[in-house]
Structures are given as structure tokens and as C-alpha cells.
Amino acid sequence: MSVVVTSFCGLCVLLVLGKVLRTLVPLLQRLYLPASVIGGLLGLLCLNQPFCRIPQEWYAYWTDIPGFLINIVFAALFIGAKLPRLGDVWKLAAPQFCYGQLVAWGQYVIGLGLAAVLLIPVFHVDRAFGTLLEIGFEGGHGTVGGLSATFDHFGWPVGRDLGYTTATAGMVLGIVIGMALINLAVQRGWVKNVRQFSEQSIHERRGIYPKKAQPPAGRQTVFSDSVDSLALHIAAIGMAVLIGYGIKILLVALNTVMPASVQNLQVLQSFPLFPLCLIGGLILQKLLISIRLDALVDHGQIQRLGGAALDFLVVAAVASIRLDFVAAYWMPLLILIVAGTLWNVFGVLFIAPRLFRDAWFERAIAEFGQSMGVTATGLLLLRTVDPENKTVAASAFGYKQLLHEPIMGGGIWTSLALPLVITQGNLTVWLICVGMMIFWLCFWYLVIRRQGHVSR
């Protein structure tokens, strides 16, 4: 049996076992841990036990899979989606976007600042260590996987394992601390629509739809005698990845004709593929709309494919963490994770009440989940405090992601920051991030506040 087949089957086994454990263990249900994280942790435990001798061919490709799958996840974001007018998006999402930017840039300020004054001089970590906070928290496992080639390019492959560890800690802490914040909000009267765990049905706790309530995974857009609908949607994602890859080739070619000062930054040649796949998906969707063929692509099917890629990505990323690397950096990593978590909690309890006019906690808790794990974590926490979407939080959060994801959490700046820190140093990038935080604070005070988006 080939190594590719056994590696894939190994991930399938872990994902199924993760779902089985989530279904049977009440504690895992209360923690709302995704099956992909549970399965990944199970794989990590098995691979690092001396008595558990698993043949290498069963996990040989696990370290490479996340870097490929993240291209599919990002390519799928806009394909088949209705692209609203920018003005409509901005009108609803401006405060949410401002808050998300403050939190994300703040993660760089905290991470790079800690690295400069404590982690580098005391623990002698790499100068790029501070970027792991935003890469792991705001970006998540997919972003870390997508930056694997960049880590290797700059001779710091250990950054991938430390990034996966940060992302795993962020996802777990995002759910656990997020639920603790929700309980605090209930006690303080900040929210009134919370649906407690005790109020959920057995199907909801186990994460399994009852047979009569199973929703469709998407709409078939073509007759199967011409081409299978799912195959067409996979091909659409492949076209978006191809467009992104073409852009990357152009960037590499452009780098050869740039001045030496630009080439020395190594930004263009080390720029990862996955944010370009997001652009590729957007270009493809705009093209389909312009030639009136957008009805051939269903966003529901595309989202299922992107979601499947993300689940396998997380399983592979968590299971392939090198614990020997983590053990060597456990103290600076712990300091970084604790500091980042405290910053995100500060955002919910201090910044959000002053920035949002209405539904401030609902809007902030969604951002908390997203900025510590993935978008799904944010939606999970939001669904807990606003199960019937009675506030504007869900719409504002969704529209905000259209503006936010191309920049942070795996977007353009996340891809630029790592090579810039390595080539230009912590201080230069830290000052840029401080400047951006000041910009968004001024924007909130001078624009959003005066337009009546927030209370005085």
C-alpha cells in the first residue's frame, strides 16, 4: 500500500475516532471541542508514546498536508458567494472591522514587544518568535501550515511546530475561556438570550442531526450526465488555486527585476500561496458573475469542500506537532500564549463596551473566538449567546470577515510580517504595528464614534 494512501487513511481513522469520542464523552461535549482537534490530539498522543509503534508510512505526509489544504480553504472563501456592495458591507461592519483590526494588530504589538524585551534576551528565541501569536491565534493551524515554506526558507522550520502548538492552545482556550466569559455575561446581565448546555438536546450535544432534520449540504447545479456537480465544484476550487499560483509566479518573476533593496527584503519570493488563492477565488467569482455563469457554482457545496479540507488540515497539523521542539521552548511559548489570551480578554471586557453601541458582548465574543482559533469558534460562541440571531452580531461579523481576512489572520499582512521581522528586525515591524493600532483608534474616535455607531 502506498505511503499516500496510508497517510490519508491514518487521518481518516483519527477524524472518525475524534467524532466518536466527541459523541460519547460528556466532558468533550461541554468543552465544544471539534472532532478534528480531538482526533489530532489523539494522534499526537499515540505518536509520542514509546509503546505505540506506528509504521512511519501511516504519518509520513502529515507535516506536508496542511500546507496544501490551506490553499483549498482560502480559495473556497468567495467562490459561489454573493458579493455585496462595498458600501453596504462598510455601513454594517465598520465597527466590527475596526475592533477586529485593533485586536489583530495588538497581537503583533504584544508578541513582538514581549519577544524584544523578554523572550529573545532571556530565552534566546528566534527573532521571529513574536509573530507566532498572531499566526497561531488569529491565523490558526491553516495559516501556520501555509507559512511552512516561509519558515523553511528562512531556516526556522521549528516555527511550524511552535505555530501549531500556539494554534492548538488558542483554539482550546478560545472555547474554554469564551464559555467562562459567557457565564460572566449572564451573571452581569450583559446578555439575555443565552442557551445553556443543559437546554440543548442530546443530538446538539453530540453534534449529530436527527434524521428528519438533516439539512442539505448544497445544491446540485448541473445534470450529472454532463459532469458530476461535486466534481465541477472541486474543479472550480482548483481553478482558483491555479490563479493564485499564477500570481505567485508573477511575484517571483517581479522580484528578479526589483531593486536590490527590495530583493533583500525577500518578501516577494517568500510570499506564501494561500492568500493568493483567496484572491484567485475572488477573481474567479467576479469572472463568473461578469459572464453570467455564477449559477453554476453553489456556495453551499464550496463551503462543504472548504470545511472538509479544514478538518483534515487540523487533524494533520495537531497530530504532527514535534513535542521535542515544544519542550525546548515551553516557557517562552507559555508566556506568549498567556499574554495573548489576556490581551484578547481585555479586548472583550474593556475595548468592546466602548466601541460597540449595541450588542457589544455578542459582537465581541464572536471576535474573541475567531481571534483565538478559527471563524467556526467565533460562530459557536456567538450562537451560544444569540441562538436566534436577534442582534446584528452575526451579520456584522460575517461582513467584517470579508474585509478582515484578506489582511490579517492569514491575509496579506500576516504573510508579509514574518519575512519582514526576519530581514528588518523586531523594532521596525513593531513600530508599524503600533502605528496601525493608533490609526484604528483614531479612526474609531474620529469616524465611527461621530457617525453614531457607538454610544457616548
Half-sphere exposure (Cβ direction) of 217: Cα atoms closer than 13 Å: 11
Distance in angstroms (rounded) separating the CA atoms of residues 373 and 141: 8
pLDDT tens digits, one per residue of 342-366: 999 999 999 999 998 888 999 999 9
pLDDT band (50, 70, 90) for residue 455: very low
When pLDDT is averaged across residues 426-452 and rounded to a whole number, the result is 90
Q: What is the pLDDT of residue 456?
A: 36
Query: Do residues 143 and 31 both lie within one domain?
Result: no
Residue after which a domain boundary falls, among 33, 61, 89: 61
When pLDDT is averaged across residues 289-297 and rounded to a whole number, the result is 94
300 located within any domain: yes
Query: Do residues 67 and 57 both lie within one domain?
Result: no
Residue with cell 461621530: 450
Q: What is the mean pLDDT of the chain?
A: 89
When pLDDT is averaged across residues 30-39 and rounded to a whole number, the result is 87
pLDDT band (50, 70, 90) for residue 409: confident
DSSP code string of 116-176: IIIIHHHH---TTGGGHHIIIIII-HHHHHHTHHHHHHTT-THHHHHHHHHHHHHHHHHHH
Q: What is the pLDDT of residue 43?
A: 92
122 located within any domain: yes
Query: Do residues 328 and 365 both lie within one domain?
Result: yes
Query: Do residues 10 and 148 both lie within one domain?
Result: no
Query: Do residues 54 and 67 both lie within one domain?
Result: no
Query: Do residues 55 and 91 both lie within one domain?
Result: no
When pLDDT is averaged across residues 222-235 and rounded to a whole number, the result is 94
Q: What is the pLDDT of residue 454?
A: 45
Residue 136 has pLDDT above 60, yes or no: yes
217 located within any domain: no
Distance in angstroms (rounded) separating the CA atoms of residues 438 and 39: 41
pLDDT band (50, 70, 90) for residue 377: confident
Contact 69, 308 (CB under 8 A): no
Check the CA dihedral 340-345-348-354 and report its sign.
Answer: negative
Check the CA dihedral 343-345-351-355 and report its sign.
Answer: positive
Query: Do residues 4 and 81 both lie within one domain?
Result: no
Query: Do residues 346 and 381 both lie within one domain?
Result: yes
pLDDT tens digits, one per residue of 384-408: 888 777 888 888 888 888 788 889 9
The contacts of residue 115 (CB under 8 Å, 6+ apart) are 125, 127, 129, 130, 336, 426
Query: Do residues 99 and 51 both lie within one domain?
Result: no
Work out the angle between the directed axes of helices 299-319 and 229-256 (0-180°, nearest 10). Answer: 60
Grid cell of 250 as nine digits: 508573477
Query: Do residues 33 and 126 both lie within one domain?
Result: no
CB contact burial 166-200 (16+ within 10 A = b; e otherwise): bbbbbbbbbbebbbebbeebeeeebbeeeeeeeee
Range of the domain at 71: 62-192+226-448
The number of distinct structural domains making up the chain is 2
When pLDDT is averaged across residues 281-304 and rounded to a whole number, the result is 94
Residue after which a domain boundary falls, among 37, 61, 85: 61
When pLDDT is averaged across residues 258-274 and rounded to a whole number, the result is 79
Residue 17 has pLDDT above 70, yes or no: yes
Distance in angstroms (rounded) separating the CA atoms of residues 111 and 83: 34
Please report, rounded to a whole number, the percentage of residues in the chain having pLDDT higher than 90.
52
pLDDT tens digits, one per residue of 80-91: 988 777 777 787
Query: Do residues 51 and 87 both lie within one domain?
Result: no
149 located within any domain: yes
When pLDDT is averaged across residues 94-104 and rounded to a whole number, the result is 94
91 located within any domain: yes
Contact 280, 243 (CB under 8 A): yes
pLDDT band (50, 70, 90) for residue 452: low
Residue after which a domain boundary falls, among 61, 87, 110: 61
Closest C-alpha to 344, from 153, 171, 197: 171
204 located within any domain: no
When pLDDT is averaged across residues 440-444 and rounded to a whole number, the result is 92
Distance in angstroms (rounded) separating the CA atoms of residues 404 and 440: 13
456 located within any domain: no
Half-sphere exposure (Cβ direction) of 81: Cα atoms closer than 13 Å: 18
For the chain, give the secondary structure using H, E and C. Answer: CCHHHHHHHHHHHHHHHHHHHHHHCHHHHHHCCCHHHHHHHHHHHHHCCCCCCCCHHHCCCCCCHHHHHHHHHHHCCCCCCCCCCHHHHHHHHHHHHHHHHHHHHHHHHHHHHHHHHHHHHHHCCCCCHHHHHHHHHHHCHHHHHHCHHHHHHCCCCHHHHHHHHHHHHHHHHHHHHHHHHHHHHHHHCCCCCCCCHHHCCHHHHHCCCCHHHCCCCCCCCCCCCCCCHHHHHHHHHHHHHHHHHHHHHHHHHHHHCCCHHHHCCCHHHHCCCHHHHHHHHHHHHHHHHHCCCHHHCCHHHHHHHHHHHHHHHHHHHHHCCCHHHHHHCHHHHHHHHHHHHHHHHHHHHHHHHHHCCCCHHHHHHHHHHHHHCCHHHHHHHHHHHCCCCCCCHHHHHHHHHHHHCCCCCCCHHHHHHHHHHHHHCHHHHHHHHHHHHHHHHHHHHHHHCCCCCCCC
Lowest-pLDDT range of 1-15, 148-162, 212-226, 256-270: 256-270
Give the residue, 297 or 275, on which the prediction is more confident: 297
Query: Do residues 117 and 241 both lie within one domain?
Result: yes
Please report, rounded to a whole number, the percentage of residues in the chain having pLDDT higher than 70.
98
343 located within any domain: yes
Closest C-alpha to 302, from 10, 125, 27, 76: 76
Residue 106 has pLDDT above 50, yes or no: yes
Distance in angstroms (rounded) separating the CA atoms of residues 399 and 97: 9
Indicate the burial class of 205 (C-beta count within 10 angstroms; 0-12, 13-18, 19 or more). Answer: middle
pLDDT band (50, 70, 90) for residue 212: confident
When pLDDT is averaged across residues 263-275 and rounded to a whole number, the result is 80
Closest C-alpha to 277, from 61, 66, 62, 79: 79
